[in-house]
Amino acid sequence: MTPPSRQALVPFVSVDHMMRLVHHVGIERMMVELVDQIEADFRRWPDFDKTPRVASHSDIGVIELMPTSDGQQYGFKYVNGHPSNTRRGLQTVTAFGVLADVATGYPVMISEMTILTALRTAATSAMAAKWLAPRDARVMAMIGNGAQAEFQALAMKAVCGIEEVRLFDIDPAATRKCAANLAGRGLTVLSCTTAEEAILGAQIVTTCTADKQYATILTDNMVGGGVHINAVGGDCPGKTELAPAILHRAGIFVEYPPQTRIEGEIQQLDPDHPVTELWQVIAGQVAGRTDAAQVTLFDSVGFAIEDFSALRHIHQRLQGTPFFRDLDMIADPDDPRDLFGMLCRSQTADVA
């Protein structure tokens, strides 16, 4: 049987390949590179197709598709969110993604995105903090010490210069896990017994909890002036982390309002409550933080352009490396009109 042509082979990045690539580049360097890529794409935000993710919700979780295109390349991610999975020994979030060429429609890469989503989520948080947090921020509080926590802390260190991270989770085992993983990575790590203790002295507060419910992780009296909040955990209808009073006194920055008003913290507010799109800050169209005492909030739900940026960066980073395998995914008959003939000839080749 004739071997497939190069254009019929699609690079596939497995979990093992992704881990090896990240170690090859370096975790913190990868974070910085992802921030640079996401920022570059945010600056050309109008070039992209934009739509809220296509979601299928159930009582225990959600399965979503997140597509976008810049007219040259197309990307999508399949991702789930099932908070109860941890009780079964499973990941809360799993994902894979596809990058394709718009001119031909052919996929140019398929990749795991469970690890890549963790990296790009942390990179996006750090990017937002770079533009919105106080310039002298050196201490962050990490509320929720699950699968995303270490990525968030290291992204803030690499991009924003954070020196100390204060950890809290309602599950002390999660905090112990996070502290152990961050040991020896150049951060002062403090394990705290309450959220209030963790927030003490922090200029950046990141909330990343998993329960799919309206929750109040931060109350209004816990948040003083001059703080930047990354609210990462509230990412679907009916799931929030912040008291509404915080939202009413914060400058709120979002990715894509039609999606964030459904899934983010601002689902608690009136539909016309003013928010600022983060891309406008990065593109220099509007101001970010306006004074030292302001409370800024990045209401992060994750958006397809960030996944597109991450997939493009990985595709570029693969060049000249062994961190992928080719998949024979695209039927490639000698005559594009004779797919049936290709099928019949394969039977003859097998018999021979």
Whether 235 is a known active-site residue: answer: yes
State the Rg of the chain over Cα.
Answer: 22
Closest by CA to 303, choosing from 66, 80, 34, is: 66
In the structure encoding, which two tokens stand for residue 19, read together?
């881990």
305 touches 68 (CB < 8 A): yes
**Which has the closest alpha carbon to 119: 317, 258, 278?**
317
**Which one is catalytic: 41, 169, 235, 299?**
235
Asked whether the beta carbons of 315 and 108 are under 8 A apart, the reply is: yes
Report the amino acid identity of residue 59: D
Catalytic positions = 235
